[in-house]
Amino acid sequence: MGALYHRVAALDGWRRWGLAFVLGALAALALPPVYFLPLLVPAFCGLFWLTEGSPGFRSAAGVGWWFGFGHFLVGLYWVAIAFFTDIRGYDWLGPAAVLGLAAALAVFPAAATALVRLTPRGGPRRLLILAVCWSFFEWVRSWAFTGFPWNLIGSVWAFSDDMIQFAAIAGTYGLGLVTVAAVMAPALLAGPEGPTLRRGGIATGLAIGALVLIWSGGALRLAGAESDPVPGVRLRLVQPDIPQELKWVKELRGEHVLKQIAMSREPADLAPTHIIWGETMVPFALSRTPEVAGVIGRATPQGGVTIVGAPRTTPYGERPYRVWNSLYVLDDEGRTVATYDKSHLVPVGEYVPLRGILPIEKMTAGVNDFSAGSGPVTLRLPGLPPVSPLICYEVIFPGAVVNPADRPDWLLNLTNDSWYGHSSGPYQHFVAARLRAVEEGLPLVRVSNGGISGIVDGYGRVLASLGLGRAGVLDGILPAPPATPGPYARWGNLVWMTFAFLASGIIVIPSGNRRRIRS
């Protein structure tokens, strides 16, 4: 271990950056849907050693950037598929978009490693501060430049219902903090002063103990957890699997609606009381096509509602003309009971930032940019408990999926992941939705055009699902929420930030041998 440490720490030039890139790519293979978790150990141990061996904070920032570049390039490769899917010929932009996105997101790991290098030497101290900084900059990534907290490192545990229960306490950021610290612990088996088997062994043992404690606590929590159904509610999720390149073809739009109406009417052993379609699965502005709403109303269960995704526009003659990516709630007469407008829009996908400078149009159908809604709301709909609607990637933002002043009883996510084909993207999106359910202690219903659609209870357990690339309906219950929300649902990011603050208290304990930090 000592020899390996010195070889890694002594690397310079392209060998140093190349190893950091490879380590970041390896870490991405622990993400959904691969879950090759053991790779996190060499990946983050190597990152720590490279940071320790950096002669200054600029060099350490370079290590973090190349690690992040490899990590996000592999983890987000599927973004390019959207550019090849679009019918207007954006394929030339796909590879550049992934490279640019990975390069931009790599700034956050670079900031983490640079801050670590600015602290005094001392293996355990620097290891702990790297874990804290990694989690801190994951949080910064959730709001900086509109925010993109995709593939948070805590999501690597989504294969285990027991492990992700910790998110109910400290959120996915807190789970990630513990994970990064734990997988880096073996790095302390070696250091610049030579073999440190005792210190490294203790750290590794504590890391294993922490993970076992999290797992056992989660198993204990789930041992008595029931998913009782909400009385009188029977949901039908409609997943038509309409190819994205055909979804907005003018001559086919009516057929798409009729297909989903027919699916909504399919017989069932227990008739559904409420029907849900995915994001923009009505390819008409329902505010301007009441006849389409009327047809959908006739397929709606009596006394229930059909919830559909569709564009919403300003009325005829009103200026300025605006368009929203919206959710409509229609009763059995086709009347609009409620609407919700997506508030967190996708740059380039739904609007073009710096439109006066960038020579491109948004990728989604239509000429006008979408307008943003007002933020999380709680809707009260006939026959249903209060619900927080979320459209597309609004569900990926921890601590920002409910209105805290009017807490709902469940989450509803309408999305359309058909842009990304049979790639990792839809699986990662579904995992993010499950983690929001655990954090908030609220059941979640997710409806997607081509999958993955599913019903998730307030503990993040998948009760029923329709897989990727399948057309069909999913009938199921609406689970009731757990009786008591967890700490994260009550105090949000303050919980894991408190953990980080306490860890920082250990980090800043003065060292008797401070060294001058070179920049």
Domain range list for the chain: 2-223+493-507, 234-476
CA distance 243 to 419: 9
SS3 assignment, position 344: coil
SS3 assignment, position 165: helix
Bond from prior residue into 33 cis (ω within 30 degrees of 0): yes
Instruction: Report the pLDDT value the prediction gives residue 369, as an integer from 0 to 100.
Output: 78
Of 314 and 214, the structure prediction assigns the larger pLDDT to: 214
Rounded average pLDDT over 364-375: 72
Of 339 and 358, the structure prediction assigns the larger pLDDT to: 339
Of 153 and 16, the structure prediction assigns the larger pLDDT to: 153
Lowest mean pLDDT among 214-223, 354-363, 477-486: 354-363
Say which residues have a Cβ less than 8 Å from residue 117's Cβ, sequence separation at least 6: 51, 54, 56, 57, 59, 60, 61, 517
- Report which of 387, 424, 409, 420 is spatially closest to residue 307, judged by C-alpha positions: 387
Say which residues have a Cβ less than 8 Å from residue 157's Cβ, sequence separation at least 6: 163, 164, 175, 179
pLDDT at 363 over 60: no
To the nearest whole percent, how much of the chain has pLDDT over 90? Answer: 67
Instruction: Report the pLDDT value the prediction gives residue 193, as an integer from 0 to 100.
Output: 59
pLDDT at 245 over 60: yes
Q: Is the dihedral of CA 18, 20, 23, 28 positive or negative?
A: negative
- Report which of 497, 38, 1 is spatially closest to residue 200, judged by C-alpha positions: 1
SS3 assignment, position 286: helix
CA distance 324 to 159: 35
Instruction: Report the pLDDT value the prediction gives residue 513, as an integer from 0 to 100.
Output: 43
Of 92 and 294, the structure prediction assigns the larger pLDDT to: 294
pLDDT at 512 over 50: no
Instruction: Report the pLDDT value the prediction gives residue 144, as an integer from 0 to 100.
Output: 92
Beta strand pairing call for 305-313 and 274-276: parallel
Instruction: Report the pLDDT value the prediction gives residue 348, as an integer from 0 to 100.
Output: 66
Instruction: Report the pLDDT value the prediction gives residue 517, as an integer from 0 to 100.
Output: 37
Instruction: Report the pLDDT value the prediction gives residue 509, as an integer from 0 to 100.
Output: 46
Q: Give burial (CB, 10 Å; 0-12/13-18/19+) of 452.
A: buried
CATH number of 234-476: 3.60.110.10
Instruction: Report the pLDDT value the prediction gives residue 352, as an integer from 0 to 100.
Output: 61
Of 483 and 234, the structure prediction assigns the larger pLDDT to: 234
Instruction: Report the pLDDT value the prediction gives residue 84, as an integer from 0 to 100.
Output: 77
Say which residues have a Cβ less than 8 Å from residue 124's Cβ, sequence separation at least 6: 188, 199, 203
Instruction: Report the pLDDT value the prediction gives residue 394, as an integer from 0 to 100.
Output: 95
Lowest mean pLDDT among 61-75, 142-156, 304-318: 304-318
Rounded average pLDDT over 458-471: 96
On average, the pLDDT of the chain sits at: 89
Rounded average pLDDT over 133-146: 94
CA Rg value for the chain: 24
Lowest mean pLDDT among 81-85, 153-157, 358-362: 358-362
pLDDT at 28 over 90: yes
Backbone angles phi, psi at 130, to 5 degrees: -65, -40
Chain position carrying tokens 């203790």 = 202
pLDDT at 514 over 50: no
CA distance 368 to 264: 31
CB atoms within 10 A of CB 265: 16
Instruction: Report the pLDDT value the prediction gives residue 86, as an integer from 0 to 100.
Output: 58
Phi/psi region, residue 425 (left: phi>0; alpha: psi -120 to 50; beta: rest), is: alpha
Instruction: Report the pLDDT value the prediction gives residue 191, as an integer from 0 to 100.
Output: 65
Of 109 and 2, the structure prediction assigns the larger pLDDT to: 109
Lowest mean pLDDT among 3-7, 327-331, 377-381: 3-7
What does the angle CA 76 – CA 78 – CA 470 come to, to the nearest 5 degrees? 130
Q: Which active-site residues does the annotation give?
A: 279, 342, 392
Phi/psi region, residue 21 (left: phi>0; alpha: psi -120 to 50; beta: rest), is: alpha
SS3 assignment, position 337: strand
Rounded average pLDDT over 281-294: 89
pLDDT at 134 over 70: yes
Helix locations, 107-196, DSSP H: 107-117, 123-141, 167-184
Of 506 and 114, the structure prediction assigns the larger pLDDT to: 114
Beta strand pairing call for 305-313 and 472-479: unpaired
User: If pLDDT is split at 50, 70 and 90, which confidence band does 511 have?
Assistant: very low
Lowest mean pLDDT among 121-125, 234-238, 475-479, 493-497: 121-125
Rounded average pLDDT over 114-141: 87
pLDDT at 349 over 80: no
